Amino acid sequence: MAGETEVGTNISVLRRNVEALSQVRMHARSRRTLTQRVADSITWFTGSMLSVYVHAAFFGGWFLLNVNVLPGIEPFDPFPFVMLAMWASVEAIFLSTFVLISQNRQSELAEKRNELDLQINLLAEHEITHLLRMVEALSTHAKGETDAAHGELKKEVDPKAVLQLISEANDRKHPS
């Protein structure tokens, strides 16, 4: 029965966390500017199969109209399809800009999530270190002895020292 209660508690905590994350996402979506909403919509559409079908139909129709195979229709952009090439180039410029706008926003969101993740990890590390000190104190009180292996674990981790070590390792890996 105790196992069921723990599972039930974990599920309710999980639901609470999922709901909180969902609310954060909805809040972030509601704060998008008009430009960001337009860029996201265009990026979403151009990344869909519907966009592929629309482009295939458009380009196929352009070719049919301009290769002089349809009776009674005079080509307006004969081979080598200069107008089509210009149209595709302008479209590519705008689409790449919209994609970059969306990617920049996604990058900002990812950076915020990474910062939150780091803060939670630092808090968890601090709490675990505190718990180790408490366990050692209880162990010392009960047994009258300490475990030498806990010495390093009881020390707080300095994030600046960790970042410095990572930087040094990266410098060795990729010297300028």
Within this chain, do residues 54 and 101 fall inside the same structural domain, yes or no?
A: yes
Based on the domain organization, do 95 and 109 belong to the same domain? yes
Are residues 95 and 78 part of one domain?
yes
Co-location of 54 and 83 in the same domain: yes
Q: Comparing C-alpha atoms, which of 64, 96, 63 is closest to residue 80?
A: 63
Domain count, the chain: 2
- At residue 149 the predicted structure's pLDDT band, cuts being 50, 70 and 90, is low
pTM of the model: 0.65
- Per-residue CA distances from 152 to 33, 71, 120, 133, 156 (Å): 49, 85, 21, 11, 9
Same domain, 50 and 4: no
**Mean pLDDT comparison of 31-35, 142-146, 163-167, highest-scoring range:** 31-35
Q: How confident is the model at residue 96 (pLDDT cuts 50, 70, 90)?
A: very high
* pLDDT tens, position by position, 2-47: 444 455 567 888 888 889 889 988 998 899 999 989 999 999 999 9
Residues 60 and 114 both lie in one domain? yes
CA-CA-CA-CA torsion for 70, 76, 82, 86, nearest 10 degrees?
Answer: -110
Q: Indicate whether 6 and 21 sit together in one domain.
A: yes
39, 124: one domain: yes
Domain range enclosing 74: 32-173
Least confident of 12-16, 74-78, 158-162: 158-162
Mean pLDDT (whole number) for 45-54: 97
